[in-house]
């Protein structure tokens, strides 16, 4: 068969024609659920422990006032299964889940399933709730949907088999497209030492100003802004923060008034980062071996938040990437 591309992207499945964002994945999943009773029954049984029944209906992007837009809804007699589909390692916030919980109550009962590529340990570290307003919340990885599709192929034929095969390959492609380094945390050491060029310590820059900076082109510093920073202080991991925004600055006083006006980075521009909410480990993560005071390291975020030490997370990350 001739190769098909859209722009510069190869089309490996019919669903690749949609694209690869969350709405596209939602559409692919919803279409396959509507065409494959085998997959529909498998997903519902895995989530609820009971059969979907013959009257199940699949809805995509359904909107309710005060209830927001849902990704996928499977409506059954007096029950509702809401599937919140996330790409990569994203997870929904509590306020979003609370809106969905009200929809479940209005339908008479059911639950919410959050689907993401992240590990279960990461979901637990991010405190994904197990229930919201009395509605159970379960977590599943996309891999479980791929496995369910593969298993259903042997019991299907025709259009159903085609849709299942296309969905499984499509989801595998999405996971392949994920950069294995996109969830790497750059862990740096902070201190409480006063500086002679600003009225802040480095710890205060992060924990009070929610900012951080480093040279753009100096050896030993990242040439491209990382997605995550981890900050170790007093011999332990204090927290992890997502880089929500960054820019290159030459006159830092304009953004952080506590840095003196005479400080000029014209000859040595710096990245200035702004962070999202801190992600705190659920248990104490000590520094561990091989990390002297000034040294930085890199570790996958799930391993960093679940290991006993930063050094252990670093070593496990190297093994994973290898």
CATH number of the domain within which 234 lies? 2.30.130
Residues 163 and 44 in one domain: yes
Residues 216 and 151 in one domain: no
Report d(CA 131, CA 322) in Å as an integer: 37
Averaged pLDDT, groups of 10, the chain, 322 residues long = 79 89 93 96 94 90 81 92 88 91 92 90 82 96 94 93 96 73 89 96 97 90 90 95 90 96 94 91 88 81 92 93 84
Residues 135 and 194 in one domain: no
Residues 210 and 144 in one domain: no
Rg over alpha carbons for the chain, rounded to the nearest Å, is: 23
Neighbouring C-alpha atoms within 13 Å toward the C-beta of 137: 24
279 DSSP assignment: B
Residues 40 and 139 in one domain: yes
Identify whether the C-beta of residue 197 lies closer than 8 Å to the C-beta of residue 260.
yes
Residues 148 and 25 in one domain: yes
Total count of domains within the chain: 2
Query: Mind listing the pLDDT tens digit for each residue in 263-302?
Result: 999 989 999 999 988 998 889 999 988 777 667 899 999 8
Query: Mind listing the pLDDT tens digit for each residue in 39-81?
Result: 999 999 999 998 888 889 999 999 887 767 899 999 998 899 9
Q: Which of 129, 151, 177 is the last residue of a domain?
A: 177
Residues 236 and 199 in one domain: yes
Residues 18 and 102 in one domain: yes
Q: Nearest CA to 114 among 76, 145, 140, 93? A: 140
Enclosing H/E stretch for 33: helix 22-35
Q: Which domain holds residue 76?
A: 5-177
Identify whether the C-beta of residue 104 lies closer than 8 Å to the C-beta of residue 135.
yes
Residues 102 and 199 in one domain: no
Residues 159 and 189 in one domain: no
Identify whether the C-beta of residue 15 lies closer than 8 Å to the C-beta of residue 28.
yes
CA angle 257, 259, 262 (to 5 degrees): 110
Residues 165 and 188 in one domain: no
Q: Which of 157, 177, 197 is the last residue of a domain?
A: 177
pLDDT score recorded for residue 102: 92
Q: Which of 177, 193, 226 is the last residue of a domain?
A: 177
pTM of the model: 0.67
Residues 152 and 60 in one domain: yes
């Amino acid at each position: 068969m001739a190769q098909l591309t859209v722009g510069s992207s190869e089309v490996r499945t019919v669903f690749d024609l949609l694209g690869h964002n969350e709405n596209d994945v939602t559409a692919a999943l919803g279409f396959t659920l509507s065409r494959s009773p085998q997959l529909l029954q498998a997903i519902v049984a895995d989530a609820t422990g009971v059969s979907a029944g013959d009257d199940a209906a699949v809805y995509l992007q359904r909107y309710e006032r005060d209830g927001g837009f849902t990704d996928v809804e499977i409506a059954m007699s007096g029950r509702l299964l809401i599937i919140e589909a996330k790409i990569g390692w994203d997870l929904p916030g509590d306020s979003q889940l609370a809106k969905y919980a009200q929809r479940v109550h209005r339908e008479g009962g059911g639950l919410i399933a959050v689907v993401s590529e992240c590990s279960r340990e990461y979901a637990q570290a991010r405190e994904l709730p197990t229930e919201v307003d009395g509605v159970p919340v379960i977590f599943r990885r996309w891999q479980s949907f791929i496995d369910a599709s593969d298993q259903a192929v042997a019991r299907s034929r025709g259009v159903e088999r085609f849709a299942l095969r296309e969905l499984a390959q499509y989801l595998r492609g999405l996971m392949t497209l994920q950069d294995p380094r996109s969830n790497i945390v750059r862990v740096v050491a902070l201190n409480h030492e006063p500086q002679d060029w600003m009225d802040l310590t480095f710890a205060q820059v992060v924990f009070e100003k929610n900012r951080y900076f480093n040279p753009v082109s100096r050896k030993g510093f990242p040439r491209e802004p990382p997605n995550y920073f981890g900050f170790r202080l007093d011999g332990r991991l204090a927290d992890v923060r997502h880089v929500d925004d960054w820019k290159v600055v030459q006159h830092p006083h304009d953004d952080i008034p506590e840095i003196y006006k005479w400080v000029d980075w014209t000859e040595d521009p710096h990245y200035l980062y702004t962070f999202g909410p801190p992600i705190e480990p659920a248990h104490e993560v000590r520094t561990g071996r091989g990390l002297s005071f000034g040294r930085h390291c890199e570790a996958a975020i799930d391993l960093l938040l679940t290991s006993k030490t930063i050094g252990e997370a670093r070593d496990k990350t190297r093994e994973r990437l290898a």
